[in-house]
Amino acid sequence: MNSEMKVGVFVLAGAILFGAAVFLLGDYSFQNYYTVYAEFSDVAGLPDKATVKLSGVEVGKIKKIFLRENKVIVQLAIKEGVKIYRDARYLVGSTSVIGSKFMEIDQGTPAAGVLKAGETVRGENSLPLDRAMTKMMEDLQSLIKDVRGDGNLSQNLNGIMTNLREVTANLNELVSDSQPHAQKMMERLDSITARLDDMLLKTDAIVDKINKGEGALGALVSDKQMKENVTSTLNNLKDASASVKNVVGRITGFKTYWRWDWKYEPAAKASRSDFGVRIYPRDGRYYYVGVANIINSKDMARGTDYEIKNTVDAQMGWEARGFDLYAGSVRGSAGAGVRWQPFYYNSTWDRVSLLFEASEFTRNRYIKNRYFNTPRYDAGVTVALNKYISACLRLNDMNEVKRLDYITKVAFEDKDISYLLGLVTLGSAGKK
């Protein structure tokens, strides 16, 4: 091979490598695409060349992002053969809370028709994480000011308290009517208990003497049958005393807490509330009954909200050494969860707790034209500002839509209800 041929081969190889580099770096492809334009007010840091996903499946890429007057236009390149319906939703998604961003398309319905190449659609704006955190802090500060002052929250709490007073007015009247009798009964129970304790000490001594056959009484019951009868009678008296003590303990052992959770979801642009009561019949054990996602179902949503409204919660829970385990009905579906205080033994950081919850294990349905077929998993972190108010960040449905909630929790103890439950327990024990 002469030198001219060597040079020619070298130039040809260089041209092939240069062409391959241009093809790869220039983002060329043999796949055919058609163009769709999406219009946003803010794309929340969406980068060029990001992927486009339809119902979680990659179907294209972003070719260019530019400004047109006061709007942000995103040029989407969609693979040929992929059908997008006209009522589909366009929003900026993220692989995680701090992950890379992509264009998410929630598929519409066939009845709306198929989108054509070159058409412009309207995207749904999402709040960037930094702005959402800033807004949350502003809302939290505003909430604290409202609680301390005469703001809307303070007025709403006053309204709630007024309604609760009206609801419990008859109960309070019942308690006040029965309280003098109950106090007399408690005084008599205390007197009876003291006498029973004294009697039990004496009966223990008597039984001991009977067993040894000492004294006149021991001689009297030297007969085996008589001895068994007397011993059985004294044991029954001892059991009765223990039962009286147990009933008295249950009357004063109840604790009742009303709970109100106010939640705001930026992606849905909507707020909801949970309201219920937690009843502790004894330390470390509780029952919770309430309503979740309270909202007027006639209100029109400003964003897409996948939560099911106005459902029932009914749970049984156990608390021990920083752990809170519960199970039952969670938002109207079977579920369970755990709350954990990782710094339970630290008096400064014990107000921080972590949450993990699982529910809807057999979910298989469409919600707002989106198909859900996996269980729901939620996680969150809560900081108690004091014994009445807590702030919480909660990531909902991590397997599917990954929605973040900002939550304010308010709780207070109702001693009147606890006293009434104690009286009911005493009545039930009396019937038995």
pLDDT 10s digits, 320-375: 989 999 999 999 899 999 999 998 888 788 889 999 999 999 998 888 888 999 99
| pTM metric for this prediction | 0.48
Place 98 in a pLDDT band, splitting at 50, 70 and 90.
low
Measured N-to-C along each axis, helices 224-253 and 415-431 cross at an angle, to the nearest 10 degrees, of 160
Q: Are 196 and 244 in contact, with CB atoms under 8 Å apart?
A: yes
Mean of pLDDT values over 185-212: 69
Residue 251 to residue 15: CA distance in whole angstroms? 92
- Kindly state the average pLDDT of the residues 80-109: 84
Determine the pLDDT at residue 96.
62
Q: Has residue 102 got a pLDDT over 70?
A: yes
Q: How far apart are the C-alpha atoms of 57 and 357, rounded to whole Å?
A: 27
For the stretch 11-50, pLDDT in tens is 777 777 766 665 555 555 567 889 999 998 888 778 888 8
Given a cut of 60, whether residue 221 has pLDDT beyond it is no
In one-letter notation, the amino acid at residue 116 is K
Q: Is the model's pLDDT at 413 over the cut of 90?
A: no
Find the mean pLDDT for residues 259-285. 89
The pLDDT value recorded for residue 282 is 81
Contacts of 216 (CB under 8 A, 6+ apart): none
Q: Would you give the DSSP letter of residue 124?
A: B
pLDDT score of 216 more than 70: no
Confidence of residue 304 (pLDDT cuts 50, 70, 90): confident
How far is 314 from 277, CA to CA, in rounded Å?
Answer: 10
The whole-angstrom separation of Cα 319 and Cα 278 is: 13
Does the pLDDT value for residue 377 go beyond 70? yes
Backbone angles phi, psi at 361, to 5 degrees: -70, -20
- Side by side, the strands of the sheet bearing 51-54 are 89-94, 101-106, 51-54, 57-68, 71-79, 33-40, 120-122
By the 8 A CB rule, do 363 and 373 touch? yes
The per-residue pLDDT of the chain, averaged, comes to 78
Q: What residue spans define the domains of the chain?
A: 32-126, 171-252, 255-298+308-418
Which residues, 6+ apart, have CB-to-CB distance to 257 below 8 Å?
277, 278, 280, 411, 412, 413, 414
* CATH 3.40.50 fits domain 255-298+308-418: no
Closest among 204, 157, 195 to 388, alpha carbons compared? 157
Name which of 115-124, 225-234, 287-296, 305-314 the model is least confident about: 225-234
pLDDT bucket at 1, cuts 50 / 70 / 90? low
The residues facing 264 across adjacent strands are 271, 406
Alpha carbon distances (Å) from 234 to 148, 213, 237, 247: 61, 16, 5, 20
Question: How does DSSP classify residue 228?
Answer: H
Backbone angles phi, psi at 22, to 5 degrees: -65, -40
DSSP, collapsed to helix, strand or coil, labels residue 118 as: coil
Q: Write out the two tokens for 176.
A: 């006040």
